[in-house]
Structure 1
Amino acid sequence: MAALSSIDLTFDAASEATLRGEWDALERAGFSSLGAHRATTNRPHLTLVVGTPLDLVGRPTVDALPLPLTIGAPVLFGSGDRRVLARLVTPTSALLDLQAVVHASVRQDGLAAHSHPGAWIGHVTLARRIRLDDVAQALGLLGNDIIAEATALRLWNAAERTVTLLA
């Protein structure tokens, strides 16, 4: 299977620190937090599109940054007895427009179905493989909504483990 690539938004320093604090709290409690990944390229982010391969057909025009965002309610993704824990990002017209622009800037074959406008759900992942029996404990470690700014757009190449700044 080919490695996935993604185009992501990253956040202002204060919001990133708050999200990293949640990663750390989840990790200390024994959950599979994204904070356990110590690579320098690992940071809280909002994925706009993901695919394999993910090839740019044009550089996205991004005039919307910095973009105000609300990182809000927790959400669970997946099925079975383990789930991904994330926080929803409140959709705004500016965010949805930016996601559509980024979507249009990539080759469509190999693009994940959930990356298409109308199917995309903006979220920031906090932890993976949380047992359903442990969800209440994990939720108790999260704080209030995070008023954030998306400040940069990056291309993450998982195969090469590289990040390219796009805007």
Structure 2
Amino acid sequence: MRENTARRKDYDVVQSVELVLDEAAEAEVRRQWELLRAAGLHPPGAGHRPHITVAVATEIWPRLEKTLEREDFEPLEIRLGGLLVFGSRSPILVRAVVPSAPLLALQHRFFRVVQDCPGIPANIRPDAWTPHITLARRLRSGDLQAALDAVARDKDLRATVVGIRRWDGDRRQEWPVAQGREP
């Protein structure tokens, strides 16, 4: 059966493999989203869950699902670090995830599974990946200082990656690929 590899024009519609956080870390990121929302900015919507994207393509072929599910996964300690700004026309505010050898190895393993899928952006490749959690999107240049003021006082945070999920942007659905134990 031939895979559909047609290029999509809507680059916001993606297929991804994502790391999910423990309850305490997720609650802390949601608190930061609320601070940004209160400042009139654009954090991810109510249906979103804090995550770290490790692989993305315009299409992840269905035949790869079983391969993703067979990947070994153990909960992984990480540290959420300082703020970063991606882009300049429509900046995105993110909280850095401090790279560690185990985190980089995990990203590389999952990227390898989807590396031949269509529409993989250059910044997700293992030698160019910047692990992060999105805090606010579509910032206007005048909003950047307000966004920084809203969350810049927050300190680094220890967290645990407790699971891997798949996100299907076409259907707006998520499902677990691997689940570890909560710490």
TM-score by length of 1: 0.90
Give the whole-Å Cα distance in 1 for the aligned partners of 2:157 and 2:144.
Answer: 20
User: Structure 2: which amino acid aligns with 1:116?
Assistant: R
- AA partner of residue 49 (structure 2): R
The CA deviation at 1:105 is 1.3
Instruction: Give the alignment partner of residue 80 of structure 2, picking from 54, 71, 87.
Output: 71
Decide which of 27, 43, 50 is 2:56's aligned counterpart: 50
How much does 1:128 deviate? 0.6
The CA distance in 2 between the partners of 1:52 and 1:100, in whole Å, is 18
RMSD across aligned positions (CA): 1.5
Structure 1 match to 2:5: none
Q: Report the alpha carbon displacement of residue 62 of structure 1 after superposing the two structures with TM.
A: 2.6
1:134, CA displacement in angstroms? 2.5
Moved more, 105-114 or 12-21: 105-114
Aligned 8 A contact 1:155 1:164 in 2: yes
* SS of equivalent residue, structure 1 residue 33: coil
1:145 to 147, 153, 156: 156
Return 111-120 or 94-103, whichever deviates more.
111-120
| Aligned with 1:129 (options 110, 119, 138) | 138
Equivalent residues in 2 for 1:1-167, closer than 5 Å = 1=8, 3-34=13-44, 37-39=45-47, 42-55=48-61, 56=64, 58-59=67-68, 61-63=71-73, 65-80=74-89, 82-110=90-118, 111-142=120-151, 143-167=154-178
Number of aligned residues: 161
Contact 1:62 1:98 in 2 (8 A): no
Output the CA distance in 2 between the equivalents of 1:98 and 1:156: 17
Does the CA contact (< 8 Å) of 1:16 and 1:44 recur in 2?
yes
Identity %: 33
Structure 1 portions without partners, runs of 5+: none
Q: Partner amino acid for 2:163?
A: A
Deviation at 1:141, TM superposition (A): 1.6
Q: CA deviation at 1:137?
A: 2.1
Bigger Rg, which one: 2
Shift of 1:132: 2.5
